Amino acid sequence: MALKIYGVARSRAARVLWMAKELGLDYEHVKVDFATGETREPAHLALNPNGHVPVIDDDGLILWESMAINLYLAKKYGAGRLYPGRLEDEARAWQWSFWGMTEVERPLLAALMNRAVYPEDERDASAADAAEKTLAPPLGVLNGALGRSANLLGDDFTVADLNVASILGWARPAQIDTAPFPKVAEWLKNCAERPAARAVRQLQRE
Ligand SMILES: N[C@@H](CCC(=O)N[C@@H](CS)C(=O)NCC(=O)O)C(=O)O
């Protein structure tokens, strides 16, 4: 059975689509849309009781949570390339993925919603500014790490970069000033210019 990826490209499913494209996988894209309430329908809740996308079905393995999905896909299909071979580097890929979710995603989403997504009269500029302030320390941490190597685990782009960059892809629409973090800005640009990342942005426009 082919890999199925559930979730429209303009959701966090974009992260998984990016991974699938980096790995050159054949997959079926099931465009479950959060905006229409489809994620809360019984058929989808049977796959993910949280009512969220992304979800994958990989030969009968149903898996949710974008970072876990990407770590799994990279390890299964990209060992030695996108997925590191050494246990220590594998642990660092987990570290950066968990870090992205726990230190970055929530404030970044708050800035994004209040600057670009909510209807203009429902946006809270001070909440967005506070969220941007919260982001400064973790962005400083990332900038420091990228000052030591071009990518998070060393010279090569890996699942660690993809997972963190797929969260930080919201920085631009959220109007986060990355000028104080030049290494982050440069790395993010390199990640975004990868053909697989471009292909996902194309899917988002369709
Ligand atoms: N931590 C989850 C978050 C998933 C999530 O919140 N997805 C949103 C779309 S980006 C969703 O499905 N929302 C619809 C809903 O909650 O009904 C992950 O990273 O996969």
| Burial label, 2 (beta-carbon count in 10 A; 0-12, 13-18, 19+) | exposed
Instruction: Give mean pLDDT, residues 2-25.
Output: 97
What pLDDT, on the 0 to 100 scale, is given for residue 80?
85
- In the chain, the percentage of residues whose pLDDT exceeds 90 is 97
In three-state secondary structure terms, 151 is strand
Q: Which two tokens stand for residue 25?
A: 């996988």
**Residue 173: is its pLDDT beyond 60?**
yes
Kindly list the strands in the beta sheet with 27-30, ordered across the sheet, starting from the edge strand earlier in the chain.
27-30, 3-6, 55-58, 61-64
**Residue 1: is its pLDDT beyond 90?**
no
Tens digits of per-residue pLDDT, 92-148? 999 999 999 999 999 999 999 999 999 999 999 999 999 999 999 999 999 999 999
Cα 54 to averaged position of ligand 1 atoms, centre (Å): 7
What pLDDT, on the 0 to 100 scale, is given for residue 101?
98
Packed helices 13-23 and 159-168: angle between N→C axes, nearest 10 degrees: 150
Q: Is 65 in the pocket of ligand 1 (CB under 6 A)?
A: yes
Q: Which of 5, 6, 12 to mutate to test the pocket of ligand 1 (most atoms within 8 A of CB)?
A: 12
Measured distance CA(119)–CA(67) in Å, rounded: 29
Measured distance CA(81)–CA(102) in Å, rounded: 26
Cα 160 to averaged position of ligand 1 atoms, centre (Å): 20
Q: Is 12 in the pocket of ligand 1 (CB under 6 A)?
A: yes
Q: Is 66 in the pocket of ligand 1 (CB under 6 A)?
A: yes
Tens digits of per-residue pLDDT, 16-57? 999 999 999 999 999 999 999 999 999 999 999 999 999 999
Q: Which of 53, 102, 113 to mutate to test the pocket of ligand 1 (most atoms within 8 A of CB)?
A: 53
